[in-house]
Amino acid sequence: MAALYLTEDDVRSLMDMEKSILITHKVFKELATGRVMNAPRQRVRAPGIMLHTMSAANEYLHYVGWKAYTTTKQGARFHVAIYDQESGEMKALIEGDFLGQLRTGAASAVATEYMARPDSKVVGMFGSGLQARTQLQAVCMTRKIEFVQVYSRNFENCSRFAEEMTELCDVEVSACHSPDETAAEKDIVICATTSKAPLFDGRVLDEGTHLNVIGSNHRSRREIDRTTIKRADVIVCDDIEQCKIEAGDFMQPVEEGITDWRLMHNLSDIIAERETGRATDDQVTLFKSVGIAAEDVAMGVQVYEFALEEGLGVDLPF
């Protein structure tokens, strides 16, 4: 059988956040068993372009695969490929932009389920882009959210985001002019920006706040300040080893002795109940996601299987 090519439109018709959360939960559960091998992201540069590659072997699915994407001034282009574990044949090549947005939101949903207080109702949202959309959607599917304040540098974009997400999530979303106000008096704070500098003063966070910090996967970018890290009673990563390479939020604080990698936990260990995501209601908890290939491969496999059922995609000549 020829490999199947699936477009962004195909992915959007086949995959949604509810399915993505279930798939992503399974990924982290299997990571804890050792039936997933994940290779961190690597980057190479040429004038005007950067190529990012990452791969994983999801033994429990009988597939291996990779995600590769380019970033230029014109934007980013994403692809995910999956291969049959026994034959080594490529089964699908998938356009992976929306897929990546879903899996990143889903990882935060899984972390929120294990780390945020069950009665969490109020969210502070930083960012108004595509990743912010799926982050907020995922959290609203995980907790009974009643009110959201959102801040981004472009207030026009922020207001449009608030209007759109109010309808999508069926919850009141209000644009805010103040970063500190957005972070204060919140049960959950979400950071999904491209900021190179901390977004708010960590002193404004309430006790018991849970944070999902997903915007930075480069050592030069930080969304949270040293105070936030100091106040975090529990710090969880999607993958500590990958965070050591590209989590700018942690690199300098670790070098300064503010925190230590040995104090952090992998999300897989939280799900396996080897560690605790939250021990008391007054703890500040922090989830840092940089994105791992095991999620992309698992999502790609599911999209491929759905596509076979629905007769979608175009056969490639190999």
Enumerate the domain spans of the chain.
4-100+294-315, 116-291
In angstroms, the CA 158 to CA 127 distance is 8
What local confidence, expressed as pLDDT, does residue 214 receive? Answer: 96
Give the count of beta carbons closer than 10 Å to the beta carbon of residue 257.
Answer: 7
The pLDDT of 255-274, averaged and rounded, is 97
Read off the pLDDT of residues 2-50 as tens digits, 9 standing for 90 and up: 999 999 999 999 999 999 999 999 999 999 999 999 999 999 999 999 9
What local confidence, expressed as pLDDT, does residue 10 receive? Answer: 98
pLDDT at 203 over 90: yes
Query: Is beta strand 75-84 parallel, antiparallel or unpaired with respect to 63-72?
Result: antiparallel
Model pTM? Answer: 0.96
Let me know if domain 116-291 sits in CATH 3.40.50.720.
Answer: yes
Query: Is beta strand 234-237 parallel, antiparallel or unpaired with respect to 63-72?
Result: unpaired
Of the candidates 226, 232, 215, 231, which has an alpha carbon nearest to the alpha carbon of residue 251? Answer: 226
Q: Which residues pair with 147 in a beta bridge?
A: 122, 172
Read off the pLDDT of residues 125-139 as tens digits, 9 standing for 90 and up: 999 999 999 999 999
CATH topology of domain 4-100+294-315: ornithine cyclodeaminase, domain 1 (3.30.1780)
Burial profile 190-203: b = 16 or more Cβ within 10 angstroms, e = fewer = bbbbebeebbbebe
> What is the pLDDT of the chain when averaged over all its residues?
97
In angstroms, the CA 223 to CA 233 distance is 18
